[in-house]
A = this chain, B = another copy of it.
């Protein structure tokens, strides 16, 4: 097993000092053409690449960022991660992926882990609560971007989607469709998204003076959607779901009850994950720009890392109403 070739090796073979080799690589203009070519040739021949760990030590940055998400297996996240990676790799950064399962203790461990790995920055989607471990980064001025979450406590950057408005837009549409009775089947109550969607729902209830509605909380899963239908005191004209997964479960249960969608009842989702356009019926939902969320977060983080005095910034992205087959066609103007 041959040791990796180092700068010294190149230097020795070329008969120059290591610093010259370094310059050939980093500031070619500062070394004469003859030497440069000679050294370059040897570098090519030996297939030399600088040891980035040594570089990292010397320069104080490994060009690595940490990404903490609840679970890559949740269809909401892959596109976000992709957005982050596409942007950051172009800048020479690599991305360390961590799944926290929304567990506070696990999050703490991961944060410590990333800190000890000397990452240059972190993109973080946490559980609902504020994780004090965050401060090991903020207190040392290591940039941090929150995804899909805001903590007023910190003056960090964040990228969120206006869930309240998304839900409100959806409700406005449903009202226009002529639906009169509603149920909100939501995810876990303590969650940022569940809260915001609930808020948007309530806003619409008030604005459009909806009398006939019901709200139930569960989890953001297929199974939970299925179950939540059973908890309803009666089946309303339209079932507004906290996310697409819930909607799938709801659709299944509703059809099992012998009701047809959208003729008997309407069902809506939230997120517009990849399958929602292929589901049967295809799902009326609110699209979150996942790839954009990731990309924007990466961009923000990058600026905070590389620009001396870049100030933390919050970005609010707008969700988009996607109308498909699971709701009836619009019948009147409000």
Give chain A's interface residues, CB within 8 Å of chain B: 1-2, 4, 47, 49-54, 56-57, 62, 64, 71-73, 75, 77-79, 81-82, 85-86, 89, 94-99, 112-118, 136, 140-141, 222, 248-249, 252, 255, 274-275, 278-280
Contact = CB atoms under 8 A, between A and B. Distances in A.
Contacts of A112: 49
Contact of A78 (B2, B50, B72, B85): B72
A4 B139 CA distance: 10
B136 A47 contact: yes
B99 A82 contact: yes
19 contacts: A1-B140, A1-B141, A2-B140, A2-B141, A47-B136, A49-B112, A52-B117, A53-B118, A72-B81, A72-B82, A73-B79, A73-B274, A85-B97, A85-B99, A89-B98, A94-B98, A94-B113, A95-B97, A255-B280
Contacts of A97: 81, 85, 95-97
A79 B75 CA distance: 11
B99 A222 contact: no
Nearest to A61: B53
Contacts of A78: 72-73, 77-78
A52 B116 contact: yes
B85 A98 contact: yes
B116 A49 contact: yes
A130 B205 CA distance: 59
Contacts of A51: 57, 118
Contacts of A222: 278
Nearest to A81: B72
A95 B222 CA distance: 30
B99 A96 contact: no
Residue with the highest number of chain B CB atoms closer than 10 Å, among A4, A54, A78, A85: A78
Residue with the highest number of chain B CB atoms closer than 10 Å, among A73, A75, A85, A86: A73
Q: Which 5 A-B pairs have the closest CB atoms?
A: A49-B116, A1-B141, A53-B56, A94-B96, A72-B78
A140 B48 CA distance: 12
Contacts of A94: 96, 98, 113-114, 117
Contacts of A136: 47
A49 B252 contact: no
A217 to B, nearest CB: 21
